[in-house]
């Protein structure tokens, strides 16, 4: 008998549980479908079982179906049971608003704020309730009262900012965030993220989309010059907007005030170099150099200054012979000042490149590299970089096997790293130059999966050249002539190299190297400042061989010549735009888009 009673009780409990689950599922489904009449029938049952759990969806259904009497009744019931939960006043206010009783509506809101105490959670809940019904001013009033109680502990800056944002008062929102970092400076990164989300962030326009932020920061810097955090934030914005000159001015003030000895300025200078603002970079490094040799950053500033001058020459592509000699002298002076050591390795590297590839002082560069590579104290990675340069220069002088040895040493030491893959590629090119096409292609194919995308692409391109040239026709003579001509060009024997390439087209009518020949000739003409001839050769590649491997390269190089050498900005802009349309998947696409936007007048990040 006792077991029978237990079974009956268990059956009733299970039935009730199943019925509750069914009611909840149906109620939720009807609510999601906005069938509030049907949903309210089930939520009423659920509310009678557990008023605290099901009050909110039931109240929503009653309000949506204009069942205001019952909505008022359950809101008052909840408020009586839980008088500390002031958000029920907001619900009552919504009932009266729906009934067009604005006086009673405002009365409920006022009463809620009046009864607000020191409890932070209570303030947060009430403020959230006001925001939920778009009563932004009441939410702001709620947080202000909470701030008066908890100013030293939790001043509600972020909540207040959200309320002002919802209201559309952007200036007040910004000032709440600025107050937040004044209150707790370690919150700077969080505030920057919040402002980025609130104001929007535009890479093309250089960062934050709203000028009010900069205005308010500048105002606060004037009012509170002792608050370094504001200046820090302003410098951050100026850097985002690529206004490096203004960033330098404010950074100098911070450097002097905080006695930073140029650390901040050094970082800014390096950033300027990366963004090709060489004038401001030089100002940064000169500022640190002016502090004198006793300054900890003095030597590094001298090194970076010399490096920046070289970068300006090599990247801007509009230099003169006088410019080259000027930079050479500065690099030499820097090396003379600090000697051959780890600190000056980057300067040695750039001087070797300048002398070997720009000034035709190849042997001088080789001698210098041989001396530096073997000095005590130079780290292995730096020595490896110099060995790659040494190999290139040895190749120019015709010492092919010594060049291969230099590359092989790097490849062996860094087999699975990008620099080792670079050395492997250079060795594959030596095999190509010397006519060992089978071995060269095997090495190039192995490099198609290289970590560096640039090496991978170059390897694929050269592998295709070999495949196209000897894939069908077993006659290797045209490719041998092309490879030897390519080596002549590398060795600065331009006239001989071009003559040999031209002879390929004369001797072999149906060779597959025509696009390669025109592209190589265009490169040589560009180096010799024969821009008309270079453009004609590149145009030939685009017009006739645009769908082959050099089509995108040729069009990009044409735009580059018009931009940097001929200063024809409109033509350059047109060509970059054409490039983006024709070759959206090219490795140059990102850079072409950046340059096009810059020429169009955008502020590019």
Q: What is the pLDDT of residues 422-461, one digit of tens each?
A: 999 999 999 999 999 999 999 999 998 888 888 998 899 8
Give the pLDDT confidence of 333-368 residue by residue, as tens digits: 999 999 998 989 999 999 999 999 889 999 999 999
Residue 5 confidence (pLDDT): 46
CA distance 90 to 115: 13
- Is 14 a residue whose pLDDT tops 50? no
Closest residue by Cα to residue 409 from 432, 397, 427: 427
pLDDT at 495: 93
Give pLDDT, residue 320. 85
Per residue in 61-106, pLDDT (tens digit) is: 999 999 999 999 999 999 999 999 999 999 999 999 999 999 999 9
For the chain, domain boundaries: 513-600
Asked whether the beta carbons of 566 and 557 are under 8 A apart, the reply is no
Q: Among residues 114, 126, 124, which one has the least CA distance to residue 88?
A: 126
Give pLDDT, residue 197.
Answer: 85
Residue 8 has pLDDT above 60, yes or no: no
pLDDT in tens, 262-298: 999 999 999 999 999 999 999 999 999 999 999 999 9
Q: Where are the alpha helices (DSSP H) in 275-417?
A: 278-289, 298-316, 321-338, 345-353, 362-373, 380-397, 400-413
pLDDT of residue 177: 96
Distances from the Cα of 192 to the Cα of 246, 248, 602, angstroms: 19, 20, 23
Sign of CA dihedral 529, 530, 531, 536: negative
Mean predicted lDDT score pLDDT of the chain: 90
Q: Which of 12-26, 101-115, 331-345 has the lowest mean pLDDT?
A: 12-26
Residue pair 526/520 in contact (Cβ under 8 Å)? The answer is no
Residue by residue, what is the 3-state secondary structure of 491-550? CCCHHHHHHHHHHHHHHCCCCCCHHHHHHHHHHHHHHCCCHHHHHHHHHHHHHHHCCCCC
Whether 46 has a pLDDT exceeding 60, the answer reads yes
Q: Which strand (E) or helix (H) includes residue 201?
A: strand 201-202
Residue 269 contacts residue 300 (beta carbons within 8 Å): no
pLDDT in tens, 460-478: 989 999 998 886 556 889 9
**pLDDT value at position 21?**
64
Neighbour count for residue 357 (Cβ, 10 Å):
19
Residue 52 pLDDT: 87
Q: What distance in Å separates the CA atoms of residue 338 and residue 302, rounded to the nearest whole number?
A: 9
Note the pLDDT of residue 211: 83
Q: How many CB atoms lie within 10 A of CB 41?
A: 13
Q: Can you give the pLDDT at residue 18? A: 44
pLDDT number for residue 474: 65
> Which contiguous run of DSSP H or E holds residue 134?
none
For residue 364, CA distances in Å to 352, 353, 387, 599 come to 8, 11, 15, 40
Q: What is the pLDDT of residues 49-65, one digit of tens each?
A: 998 899 999 999 999 99
Cβ burial 448-476 (10 Å sphere, 16+ → b, else e): eebebeebbbbbbebbbbbebbbeeeeee
Residue with tokens 């370094």: 228
Strands 201-202 and 207-208: antiparallel
- pLDDT higher than 90, residue 7: no
In 3D, which of 226, 237, 224, 235 has the Cα closest to residue 196? 237
DSSP state, residue 207: E
Q: What is the CA radius of gyration of the chain?
A: 36
Q: What is the pLDDT of residues 302-313, one digit of tens each?
A: 999 999 999 998
Alpha-carbon distances of 376 from 19, 320, 340, 364, 373, rounded to whole Å: 84, 37, 10, 21, 9
3-state SS track over 273-291: HHCCCHHHHHHHHHHHHCC
Q: How far apart are CA 322 and CA 319, in angstroms?
A: 8
- pLDDT above 90 coverage of the chain, percent: 74
Superfamily of segment(s) 513-600:
Tetratricopeptide repeat domain (1.25.40.10)
List, for residues 225-263, the tens digit of each pLDDT value. 889 999 999 999 899 888 999 999 999 999 999 999 999
Contact 469, 511 (CB under 8 A): yes
Q: How far apart are CA 522 and CA 535, in angstroms?
A: 7
pLDDT of residue 441: 94
Per-residue confidence (pLDDT) for residue 202, from 0 to 100? 54
Please enumerate in sequence order all residues whose Cβ is within 8 A of that of 511, keeping only pairs 6 or more positions apart, or say none: 469, 478, 504, 505
Let me know: does 123 contact 156? Beta carbons within 8 Å. yes
pLDDT of residue 15: 45
Nearest to 592 by CA among 553, 565, 545: 553
Contact (CB, 8 A) for 61 and 36: yes
d(CA 405, CA 447): 19
The C-alpha atoms of residue 534 and residue 574 are separated, in whole angstroms, by 18
SS3 605: coil
Q: With b meaning 16 or more CB within 10 Å and e meaning fewer, what string describes 81-110?
A: eeeebbbbbbbbbbbbbbeeeeeebeebbe
Closest to 518 (Cα-Cα) out of 532, 500, 539, 503: 539
Question: What is the rounded distance in angstroms from the CA atom of residue 96 to the CA atom of residue 89?
Answer: 11
Overall average pLDDT of the 527-556 stretch: 94
Dihedral of CA atoms 428, 432, 435, 441 in degrees, nearest 10, equals 70
């Amino acid at each position: 008998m006792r077991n029978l009673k237990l079974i009956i009780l268990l059956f009733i409990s299970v039935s009730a549980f199943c019925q509750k689950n069914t009611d909840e599922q149906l109620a939720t489904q009807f609510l999601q479908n906005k069938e509030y009449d049907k949903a309210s029938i089930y939520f009423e049952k659920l509310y009678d079982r557990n008023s605290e759990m099901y009050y909110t969806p039931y109240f929503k259904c009653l309000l949506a179906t204009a069942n205001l009497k019952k909505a008022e009744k359950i809101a008052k019931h909840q408020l009586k049971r839980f008088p500390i939960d002031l958000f029920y006043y907001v619900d009552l206010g919504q009932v009266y608003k729906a009934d067009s009783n604005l006086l009673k509506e405002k009365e409920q809101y006022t009463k809620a704020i009046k009864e607000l105490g020191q409890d932070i959670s209570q303030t947060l809940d009430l403020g959230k309730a006001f925001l939920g019904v778009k009563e932004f001013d009441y939410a702001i009033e709620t947080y202000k009262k909470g701030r008066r109680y908890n100013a030293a502990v939790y001043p509600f800056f972020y909540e207040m900012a959200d309320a002002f944002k919802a209201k559309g008062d952007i200036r007040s929102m910004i000032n709440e965030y600025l107050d937040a970092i004044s209150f707790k400076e370690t919150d700077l990164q969080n505030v920057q993220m919040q402002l980025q989300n609130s104001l929007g962030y535009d890479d093309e326009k250089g960062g934050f989309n709203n000028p009010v932020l900069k205005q308010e920061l500048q105002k606060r810097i004037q009012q509170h010059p002792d608050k370094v955090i504001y200046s820090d934030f302003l410098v951050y914005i100026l850097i985002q907007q690529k206004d490096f000159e203004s960033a330098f001015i404010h950074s100098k003030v911070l450097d002097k005030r905080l006695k930073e000895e140029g650390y901040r300025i050094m970082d800014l200078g390096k950033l300027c170099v990366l963004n090709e603002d060489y004038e401001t970079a030089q100002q940064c490094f000169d500022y640190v150099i002016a502090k004198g040799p006793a300054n900890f950053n003095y030597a590094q500033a001298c090194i970076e200054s010399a490096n920046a001058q070289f970068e300006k020459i090599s990247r801007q592509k509009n230099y003169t012979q006088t410019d080259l000699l000027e930079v050479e002298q500065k690099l030499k002076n820097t090396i003379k000042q600090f000697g051959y050591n780890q600190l000056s390795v980057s300067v040695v590297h750039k001087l070797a490149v300048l002398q070997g590839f720009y000034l035709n002082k190849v042997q001088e560069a080789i001698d210098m590299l041989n001396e530096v590579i073997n000095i005590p104290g130079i780290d292995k990675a730096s020595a490896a970089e110099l060995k790659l340069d040494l190999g290139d220069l040895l190749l120019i002088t015709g010492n092919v096997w010594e060049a291969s040895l230099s590359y092989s040493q790097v490849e062996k030491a860094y087999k699975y790293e990008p620099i080792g893959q670079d050395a492997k590629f250079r060795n594959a090119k030596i095999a190509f130059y010397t006519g060992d096409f089978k071995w060269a292609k095997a090495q190039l194919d192995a490099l198609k999966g290289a970590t560096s995308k640039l090496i991978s692409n170059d390897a694929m391109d050269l592998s295709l050249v070999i495949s196209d040239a000897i894939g069908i026709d077993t006659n290797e003579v045209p490719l041998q002539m092309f490879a030897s001509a390519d080596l002549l060009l590398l060795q600065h024997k331009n006239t001989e190299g071009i003559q040999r390439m031209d002879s390929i087209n004369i001797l072999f009518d149906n060779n597959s190297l025509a696009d390669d020949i025109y592209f190589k000739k265009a490169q040589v003409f560009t180096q010799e400042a024969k821009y008309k001839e270079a453009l004609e050769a590149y145009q030939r590649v685009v017009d006739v061989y645009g769908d082959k491997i050099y089509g995108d390269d040729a069009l990009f190089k044409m735009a580059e010549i018009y931009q940097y050498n001929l200063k024809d900005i409109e033509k350059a802009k047109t060509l970059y735009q054409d490039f983006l349309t024709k070759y959206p998947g090219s490795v140059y696409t990102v850079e072409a888009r950046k340059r096009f936007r810059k020429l169009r007048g955008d502020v590019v990040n």
